[in-house]
Amino acid sequence: MRVLTDEHSGCCNGVGRAISVAENYLKEHGTLYSLGAIVHNDAEIRRLAGLGLRTAGYDDLPSLRGSTVLIRAHGEPPSTYKLAERSGVRLIDCTCPVVLALQKKIAAKYAGLSSAGGTVIIFGKRGHAEVNGLVGQTDGRAVVVENMADLEDKLSSRVIDVSRPLALFSQTTKDPEEFVALAARLREECPSLEVYDTVCRHVSSRHRALREFAASCSVIIFVCGRESSNGKVLFDLCRSVNPRSYKVESADEIPDGIFRPDDTVGICGATSTIRWQLDKVAEAVSKL
């Protein structure tokens, strides 16, 4: 049996940067609070908790006066920064530069569209931390569309009014092909639609590379946390290419009896999967 690890898998630059900043701060100060889970990855959260990282919610901020709180890579809406200021906490802002640039684009476009009665539409997962930060740039008025069926519902109910100016953006970690299809459908109803392809290029290229990797292997072991939105998207992509795909958080969850002696086993993961996790799973599979 042959075991290969996808060279393109592992956490994205934004998440990696946030984790590195947290580790460096903890080495010097011992305790740091993260506003929300720093990464959708329970194993990595447990590792960082051992170093002193604590996860806090918005309601906790007033009781953390004088403490230091990290803004994770997903970013936050403007209201969070105001709450932090009122609460007297110091912020370390680790918003991914790609997400930060997107927030500014949406804020600028909303300022222009709102006076004309237009709408900002965001292709993304409703309630996702990044999406909450993006919607916050529009005073909460952006319309979030999760998929094609959701778009059709919002068109038929006129939640999206195609007689008004419309601008379409995407959560950075969404499927680029799904975004293109959704934009094409919306443009059928609104030819003047402004489309901004804001899927992260790192993520976009990963979709193509992962499709090729999954096709080149006889079995795929996909490593990610259960709460990873990007992990669900990428795993579904793997499974569409290779039906012998299995999603696990660790080597302990690999099902029994799935391997054959002549298999090529591919180990890959989400943008929230840390490289050490891929290596541990690959090592465990190699010993089977």
pLDDT tens for each residue of the chain, 288 residues long? 999 999 988 888 899 999 999 999 999 999 999 999 999 888 899 999 999 999 999 999 999 999 999 999 999 999 999 999 999 999 999 999 999 999 999 999 999 998 889 999 999 999 999 999 999 999 999 999 999 999 999 999 999 999 999 999 999 988 888 999 999 999 999 999 999 999 988 777 888 899 999 999 999 999 998 888 778 889 999 999 999 999 999 999 999 999 999 999 999 999 889 999 999 999 999 988
pLDDT score, position 201 = 81
Q: Where in the chain is the domain with CATH 3.40.50.11270?
A: 13-95
Instruction: Please answer whether residues 186 and 151 qualify as being in contact, where contact means their C-beta atoms are separated by less than 8 angstroms.
Output: yes
The architecture in CATH of the region 13-95 reads: 3-Layer(aba) Sandwich (3.40)
The reply to whether 130 belongs to the active site is yes
| Cα–Cα dist 184/182, whole Å | 5
Angle among Cα 36, 40, 12 to the nearest 5 degrees reads 110
Catalytic pick among 7, 28, 76, 130: 130
Question: CATH 3.40.1010.20: which residues of the chain?
Answer: 2-9+201-286, 98-195
What's the per-residue H, E or C state across the chain? CEEEECCCCCCCHHHHHHHHHHHHHHHHHCCEEEECCCCCCHHHHHHHHHHCEEEECHHHHHHHCCCEEEECCCCCCHHHHHHHHHHCCEEEECCCHHHHHHHHHHHHHHHHHHCCCCEEEEECCCCCHHHHHHHHHHCCCCEEECCHHHHHHHHHCCCCCCCCCEEEEECCCCCHHHHHHHHHHHHHHCCCCEECCCCCHHHHHHHHHHHHHHHHCCEEEEECCCCCHHHHHHHHHHHHHCCCEEEECCHHHCCCCCCCCCCEEEEEECCCCCHHHHHHHHHHHHCC
What is the value of pTM for the model shown?
A: 0.85
- CATH number given to 98-195: 3.40.1010.20
The architecture that CATH gives domain 2-9+201-286 is: 3-Layer(aba) Sandwich (3.40)
Instruction: Tell me what pLDDT residue 265 has.
Output: 97
